[in-house]
Amino acid sequence: MRRLRYQVATSLDMKLSMKRRTVSVVAALLTAVTGLRVNAQLTQVAGVTCTSPPPLHCPEANCPRELIANPGNAVLPKSNRAFFLDYPCDLKPGEVVTFVLNLHGGGSIGNWQRHYFPIMDLKDKYRLVVATPSAVKSLWSPEDDDAHLRNIVNFVFDRFGTKNIKAFWLAGHSDGGLTANRLLRTEFYRNKLTGVVSLSGGRLGSPRAYAPRDARSLYLLPSTQGSTLAPAAAGAGRATEPGVGLSDASNLPDYNFSHIYSSGEYELTAAGLPDHSLWAQRLGCKAQTRRPDIVDTKAGYVWDARLGTAKRSRMQGLKPRPGSARVFVYPECSDRHVVADVIRLDKGHTEGLEPNVTEEIVKLMLAAK
């Protein structure tokens, strides 16, 4: 009987030892492949662990100002600048991911953008790595921010493994969309880019996307009321912001990538959304096709209350609320590129995107080559 107990105990010890070795091997493989740890993937860099739901997340309504103002859960070693990094916590060794650099608009901050376009909520389901930084000043500046953005991109490619990043997207709201349009024309991005999501930040091939009557009023610095934009640095803003509402996006880039444009219904000029796309024509896509509308029963997380509800126009955007969106695609583009327009009905420039329309945009992104 003693011998039997000894044999059973020995067998259990061997099994436990094998399990420990297996866990160690898995950890070593993940570190080798992605440069990250299994249980605390960012500990060695950011001092935080990956969590689901993502950290510093707004409630469904009335997001606290202090939460929105948080600069980020990660710190870039080269510059010591904070930014948000959201990614699947159950990432497997060698697993492929889609990387999105998510850029805020003028007068905004990273955590507001993170909730305006809340793809962080979909990071586990669709295997997304999302980096959301903040500009030094109110607007993205080549002098202050371009090197920082390149360093973030290099950091993500290095940490998650270049071969494991199957797609790289730039996404940006307002000035962030215009900045994406500028960045993609540089050699650094053109060698990596899969596509661009322009959130009220310019539609390729359209000389003017917004109604010009309210253009100036979009660029005032934000207040600190409720779930509004976080306060920008003193003196960081300016009365007019080049491009938004006034930009000419008809000068098309000289290489091909996917492009998804989204805006509120009230941002369009009286002519409405064009029934064609010069960019789609460039990519050899077929004619515009309308898909079923996307219906949301939940509102987005954030809005811009800087002027107060009474003084705001529909074009600027009001409080978040449920709604629907029209989706137009240009099918059968060359090399499986995606070109699409997503117009949110009864919305303006700054209402945060609702969950279903956010997911639809992510699905369009993942459909691209």
Residue-by-residue pLDDT tens, the chain, 369 positions: 444 444 434 444 444 444 444 333 333 333 433 334 433 344 333 455 788 899 999 999 889 999 999 999 998 887 889 999 999 989 888 899 999 999 999 999 999 999 999 999 999 999 999 999 999 998 999 999 999 999 999 999 999 999 999 999 999 999 999 999 999 999 999 999 999 999 999 899 886 554 434 433 333 323 223 344 433 332 233 222 333 333 456 689 999 999 999 999 999 888 889 999 999 999 999 999 999 999 999 999 999 877 666 667 898 899 999 999 999 999 999 999 999 999 999 999 999 999 999 999 999 999 998
> What is the pLDDT, as a whole number, of residue 43?
36
Q: Is residue 62 part of a domain?
A: no
Token pair 């539609």: residue: 203
Q: Is residue 49 part of a domain?
A: no
Q: Is residue 48 part of a domain?
A: no
- Measured CA to CA, the distance from residue 6 to residue 350 in angstroms comes to 69
Q: Is residue 346 part of a domain?
A: yes
Question: Whole-prediction pTM value?
Answer: 0.81
Query: With the CA atoms of 127, 133, 139 and 145 taken in that order, what torsion angle do they form, in degrees rounded to the nearest 10?
Result: -110
- Measured CA to CA, the distance from residue 347 to residue 83 in angstroms comes to 28
> What is the pLDDT, as a whole number, of residue 270?
83
CA distances for 119 relative to 115, 124, 193, 331, 346, angstroms: 8, 10, 18, 24, 22
> What is the pLDDT, as a whole number, of residue 252?
92
> What is the pLDDT, as a whole number, of residue 307?
61
How wide is the angle at C-alpha 217 spanned by C-alphas 229 and 320, nearest 5°? Answer: 45
Over the stretch 164-193, which tens digit does the pLDDT of each residue have?
999 999 999 999 999 999 999 999 999 999
Q: Is residue 55 part of a domain?
A: no
How far out from the chain centre does Cα 188 lie?
A: 19
Buried/exposed code over 219-228 (b: 16+ C-beta within 10 A; e: otherwise)? bbbbeeeebb
Of 171, 191, 183, 96, nearest to 145 by C-alpha is 183
| Number of domains, the chain | 1
**Dihedrals phi, psi of 88, to nearest 5 degrees:** -65, 130
> What is the pLDDT, as a whole number, of residue 78?
79
Beta strands in 287-368 (DSSP E): 289-296, 323-329, 339-344
Q: Is residue 156 part of a domain?
A: yes
> What is the pLDDT, as a whole number, of residue 125?
97
Tell me 53's DSSP state: S
Q: Edge-to-edge, what's the strand order for the sheet holding 289-296?
A: 74-76, 81-86, 128-132, 97-103, 165-173, 195-199, 258-264, 339-344, 323-329, 289-296
> What is the pLDDT, as a whole number, of residue 308?
64
- Contact status, residue 107 vs residue 221, Cβ threshold 8 Å: yes
| Other Cβ atoms closer than 10 A to 4 | 8
Over the stretch 127-156, which tens digit does the pLDDT of each residue have?
999 999 999 998 999 999 999 999 999 999
Q: Is residue 64 part of a domain?
A: no
> What is the pLDDT, as a whole number, of residue 249?
65
> What is the pLDDT, as a whole number, of residue 337?
98
- Measured CA to CA, the distance from residue 274 to residue 278 in angstroms comes to 10
- Measured CA to CA, the distance from residue 60 to residue 115 in angstroms comes to 10
Q: Is residue 91 part of a domain?
A: yes
**CATH no. for residue 116?**
3.40.50
Q: Domain of residue 207: give its range.
A: 72-367
Residues 6+ apart with CB under 8 A from 319: 299, 303, 305, 309, 351
